[in-house]
């Protein structure tokens, strides 16, 4: 009997079901965070990135193959013209249970309510420091008060669980982890701390020296908060702890100190239209070529996606002490 891509869920060689797609809708950004980009970045020309219609078509096809969660990310997704229209279309896809987004928060003050109305259930907002001067240094261009207004607008818009994301670098912001948790508790939102990943060459710091492990952050936090481990798995790489006496949870994303590959349920679509099977490997398939060769042919696209599952690697091998093996920066990949 012939293999039908229409009826089966996406399963890789290791039996992992892929039901989560992360989509970078642009490699551009209004910030230049030290850990994400070099100061001088060259961005892709418009013709090389997927059009919004192509993104919508690819997302729809993934949903047809059983993907139930899509995260829109970038670059900064909200700096792409038409981002809101895309969210509105994706919000109406039958079979998509969760449309979520990751943003640096710079546009939320004006856009949060419309994003919620479009059907985005949850958002993650990046925030590494509460010190405006340090924020400017870490993001190179960012304005902290603007992002704080964005966070307030997101809270007011009523998203289900807002989560802050903080990348922690030793001697840059590691002394602020408890203040960041205090801020999250005050706002009634969650926060995850992320270990820096060696993606692309950065010129601002030595990643090996700046490495600050999750376990150390947890110990630091316990000086000020009582944290109780939570068993609920969100299907993602975060491990969560409840901040006692509050509604907030603290998560740790530890690509170095805790490997989460065995339960990986996700793939990524880059702004250029490459389907990346693993954040820490180069295995990918050019879906832009497929959709541009046969526009509107969902069967061809489905077959390409089903076939791609065969090259999803078993795990990543990050080594913070080596030169990055992955030369693409996070803004291309979609974090
Ligand atoms: N611009 C949006 C933002 O900053 O939230 C979305 C894209 S950004 C690439 C997604 C997430 O990746 C952010 O939380 C960011 O802090 C994180 N990130 C960027 N570079 C990273 C790196 N080298 N290691 C770990 N996390 C990184
Ligand atoms: Fe932009 Fe997000 Fe990368 Fe910072 S982490 S430079 S906000 S894409």
This prediction's pTM: 0.92
Q: What is the 3-state secondary structure (H, E, C) of the chain?
A: CCCCCCCCCEECCCCCEECEEEEECCCCCCCCCCCCCCCCCCCCCHHHCCCHHHHHHHHHHHHHCCCCEEEEECCCHHHCCCHHHHHHHHCCCCCCCEEEEEECCCCHHHHHHHHHHCCCCEEEEECCCCCHHHHHHHHCCCCHHHHHHHHHHHHHHCCCCCEEEEECECCCCHHHHHHHHHHHHHHCCEEEEECCCCECCCCCCCHHHHECCHHHHHHHHCCCCCEEECCCCCCCCCEEEEECCCCCEEEEECCCCCCCHHHCCEEEECCCCEEECCCCCCCEEEHHHHHHHCCCCHHHHHHHHHHHHHHCCCCCCCCCCCCCCECCCHHHHCC
Atom of ligand 1 nearest to the CA of 29: 1
Q: Please identify, by atom number, the ligand 1 atom nearest to the C-alpha of residue 207.
A: 23
Nearest CA to ligand 1 atom 20: 36
Q: Which of 61-65, 150-154, 235-239 has the lowest mean pLDDT?
A: 235-239
**Bridge partners (DSSP) listed for residue 253:** 194
Number of domains in the chain: 1
Is 182 a domain residue? Answer: yes
pLDDT in tens, 160-214: 999 999 999 999 999 999 999 999 999 999 999 998 887 777 777 788 888 999 9
- Note the pLDDT of residue 3: 41
Q: 26: domain range? A: 20-333
Nearest to 41 by CA among 334, 241, 328: 328
pLDDT at 244 over 70: yes
Q: What does each C-alpha distance from 185 to 181, 247, 250, 283 come to in angstroms?
A: 6, 7, 10, 39
Q: Which two tokens stand for residue 284?
A: 């990918």
Mutate which of 38, 331, 332, 335 for ligand 2 pocket (most atoms within 8 A of beta carbon): 331
Is residue 249 assigned to a domain? yes
**CA 36 to ligand 1 centroid distance, Å:** 6
Q: What are the pocket residues of ligand 1 if the criterion is a CB atom closer than 6 Å to any ligand atom?
A: 29, 35-36, 73-74, 76, 102-104, 126, 165, 167, 194, 196-197, 199, 330-331, 335
Residue 120 belongs to a domain: yes
12-24 tens-digit pLDDT: 999 999 999 999 9
Protein residue closest via CA to atom 4 of ligand 2: 33
- Residue 206 within a domain: yes
| 184/51 Cα distance (integer angstroms) | 36
Residue 301 predicted with pLDDT over 70: yes
Q: Residue 6 domain-assigned?
A: no
Cα of 74 from ligand 2 centre, angstroms: 8
Ligand nearest to the backbone CA of 30:
2
Which ligand 2 atom is at minimum distance from the Cα of 30?
A: 1
Average pLDDT over residues 258-273: 87
Q: How far is CA 139 from the centre of its chain?
A: 17
For 58, 74, 214, 319, the CA distances from 63, given in Å and listed in that order, are 9, 20, 34, 34
Phi-psi category of residue 85: left, alpha or beta, with phi > 0 → left and psi -120 to 50 → alpha: alpha
The CATH number of whichever domain residue 32 belongs to comes to: 3.20.20.70
Dist. CA 269–CA 33, nearest whole Å:
21
> Which residues have C-beta atoms less than 6 Å from ligand 2?
29, 31-33, 36-37, 74-76, 104, 126, 330-331
The answer to the question of residue 13 being in a domain is no
User: Residue 161 domain-assigned?
Assistant: yes
What's the 332 CA to ligand 2 centre distance in angstroms?
Answer: 10
Q: Ligand 1 centroid vs 204 CA: distance in angstroms? A: 16
Instruction: Quote the pLDDT of residue 292.
Output: 97
What is the number of the ligand 1 atom nearest to the C-alpha of 167? 16
Q: 122-158 pLDDT, tens per residue? A: 999 999 999 999 999 999 999 999 999 999 999 999 9
Looking at residue 5, what is its pLDDT?
47
Assess if residue 9 is contained within a domain: no
Taking the centre of ligand 2 as the mean of its atom positions, its distance from the CA of residue 77, in whole angstroms, is 10
């Amino acid at each position: 009997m012939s293999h039908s891509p229409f009826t089966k869920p996406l399963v890789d060689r290791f039996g992992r079901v892929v039901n989560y797609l992360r989509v970078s809708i642009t490699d551009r950004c209004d910030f230049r965070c030290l850990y994400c980009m070099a100061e001088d970045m060259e961005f892709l020309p418009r013709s090389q990135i997927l059009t919004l219609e192509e993104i919508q078509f690819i997302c729809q096809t993934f949903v047809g193959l059983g993907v139930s969660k899509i995260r829109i990310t970038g670059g900064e997704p909200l700096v792409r013209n038409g981002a809101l229209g895309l969210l509105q279309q994706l919000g109406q896809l039958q079979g998509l249970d969760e449309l979520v987004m990751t943003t640096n928060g710079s546009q939320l003050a004006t856009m949060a309510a419309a994003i919620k109305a479009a059907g985005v259930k949850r958002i993650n907002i990046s925030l590494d420091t509460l010190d405006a001067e340090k924020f400017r240094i870490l993001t190179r261009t960012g304005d902290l008060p603007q992002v704080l207004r964005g966070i307030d607008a997101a809270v007011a818009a009523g998203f289900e669980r807002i989560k802050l994301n903080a990348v922690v670098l030793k001697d840059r912001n590691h002394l602020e982890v408890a203040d960041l948790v205090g801020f999250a508790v005050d706002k009634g939102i969650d926060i995850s701390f992320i270990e820096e990943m060696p993606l692309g060459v950065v010129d601002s710091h030595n990643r090996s020296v700046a490495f600050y492990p999750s376990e150390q952050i947890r110990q630091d936090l316990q000086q000020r908060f009582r944290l109780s481990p939570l068993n609920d798995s969100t299907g993602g790489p975060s491990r969560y702890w409840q901040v006692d006496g509050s509604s907030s949870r603290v998560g740790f994303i530890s690509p170095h100190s805790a490997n989460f590959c065995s339960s990986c349920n996700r793939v990524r679509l880059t702004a250029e239209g490459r389907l990346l099977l693993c954040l820490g490997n180069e295995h990918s398939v050019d879906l832009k070529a497929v959709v541009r060769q046969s526009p509107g042919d969902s069967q061809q696209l489905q077959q390409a996606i089903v076939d791609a599952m065969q090259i999803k690697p078993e795990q990543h091998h990050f080594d913070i002490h080596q030169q990055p093996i992955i030369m693409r920066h996070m803004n291309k990949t979609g974090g």
